[in-house]
Amino acid sequence: MKTGVETIWKDRKRFLGMPLSFTRYSLSEDRLFLQKGFLNIQFEEIVLYRVSDISLKITLGQRIFGVGSVIVHSSDKTTPHFELKNIKRPMEVKELIHKQVEEMKIERRVRVGELIGEGEEGEDPCDLDESSDEYAAQEE
């Protein structure tokens, strides 16, 4: 996929372990991309700091062919669930995505509360600033 962005990882959706599909996935430093289609091409992307959860699914059939699926859940409005289907080395890819997500959240100083929303009950104690009065009250 030629996006003009340097990719860290790329693969295709596989059928019987072989890349015979027109669905391509790639990971850059700050985004996860999906390109699918042959004549009509659809592009999707998720900004990594919006990712809230990553899960892995490997069925018996996928294990036989050495592939698996990584499911990425995000706060993205257009693509809240992004599945990388039938990719090689799914465990390694999941860990690579996790590492990039954490780096992006640290770089952009994203707090968990910013992704969840301000109107929800129960504050995450990790979101409290150590210098605030709330932190001091929490410690007592």
Residue 71 neighbours by CB under 8 Å, 6+ apart: 54, 55, 56, 57, 81, 82, 83, 84
Fold of 7-118: PH-domain like (2.30.29)
Lowest mean pLDDT among 95-104, 108-117, 131-140: 131-140
Q: What is the distance between the alpha carbons of residues 67 and 89, in angstroms, rounded to a whole number?
A: 6
Rg of the chain, C-alpha, whole Å: 18
Q: How confident is the model at residue 19 (pLDDT cuts 50, 70, 90)?
A: confident
SS3 state of residue 108: helix
User: How distant, in Å, are the alpha carbons of 41, 50, 110, 117, 134 from that of 37?
Assistant: 4, 25, 34, 35, 52
| DSSP β-bridge partners for residue 42 | 36
Q: What is the distance between the alpha carbons of residues 138 and 127, in angstroms, rounded to a whole number?
A: 12
Q: What are phi and psi of 59, to 5 degrees?
A: -85, 170
Q: What is the distance between the alpha carbons of residues 99 and 102, in angstroms, rounded to a whole number?
A: 5
Task: Return mean pLDDT, the chain.
Answer: 80
SS3 state of residue 135: helix
Q: How confident is the model at residue 94 (pLDDT cuts 50, 70, 90)?
A: very high
